[in-house]
Amino acid sequence: MHPIAFHIGDFTIRSYGVMAAIGFLLGCFLLNLNRKYAKMSSDQASSALFVAMIAGIVGARIFYVIQFFDHYRGHLWSIFRIDQGGLVFYGGFLLAIISLIVYCRLQKLDFVRVLDLFAPTLAVAHACGRIGCFLNGCCYGKPTELFWGVVYPAGSEAVLHYGERPLHPVQLYEAGEMLLLFGLFFHLVRHAKRGVAASSYILVYGVLRFLNEFLRGDNPKVFHLFTPAQLIGLLLIPAGLGLLLYFLYHGKQDPALSD
**What's the gap between Cα 257 and its chain centre?**
28
Residue 256 has pLDDT above 50, yes or no: no
Q: Which of 146, 139, 140, 212 is nearest to 174 (CA)?
A: 212
Given a contact cutoff of 8 angstroms between Cβ atoms, the answer to whether 160 and 189 are in contact is: no
* Greatest C-alpha distance within the chain: 59
Phi and psi torsions of 142, nearest 5°: -90, 165
Percent of all residues in the chain with a pLDDT value above 90, rounded to a whole number:
60
| Residue-range definition of the domain harbouring residue 233 | 4-257
Instruction: Tell me, yes or no, if the pTM score tops 0.75.
Output: yes
Residue 39 has pLDDT above 50, yes or no: yes
Phi and psi torsions of 81, nearest 5°: -85, 70
Which band of pLDDT confidence, cut at 50, 70 and 90, is reported for residue 105? very high
Q: Which of 36, 49, 54 is nearest to 110 (CA)?
A: 36
Q: How much is the mean pLDDT over the chain?
A: 88
Q: Which of 7, 148, 20 is nearest to 86 (CA)?
A: 20
Per the DSSP assignment, residues forming a β-bridge with 143 are 167
Which band of pLDDT confidence, cut at 50, 70 and 90, is reported for residue 78? low
Beta strands in the chain (DSSP E): 4-8, 11-14
Which band of pLDDT confidence, cut at 50, 70 and 90, is reported for residue 111? very high
Give residue-wise pLDDT tens across range 40-71: 999 999 999 999 989 988 888 787 777 676 67
Contacts of 220 (CB under 8 A, 6+ apart): 67, 227, 228
Who has greater pLDDT, 63 or 165? 165
Which band of pLDDT confidence, cut at 50, 70 and 90, is reported for residue 29? very high
Given a contact cutoff of 8 angstroms between Cβ atoms, the answer to whether 62 and 91 are in contact is: yes
Determine the average pLDDT of the residues in 22-44: 93
Q: Which amino acid is at 222?
A: V
Determine the average pLDDT of the residues in 19-32: 92
Domain count, the chain: 1
Determine the average pLDDT of the residues in 192-214: 95
**What's the gap between Cα 39 and its chain centre?**
25
SS3 11: strand
Q: What is the pairing mode between strands 11-14 and 4-8?
A: antiparallel
Of the listed ranges 77-91, 174-188, 221-235, the least confidently predicted one is 77-91
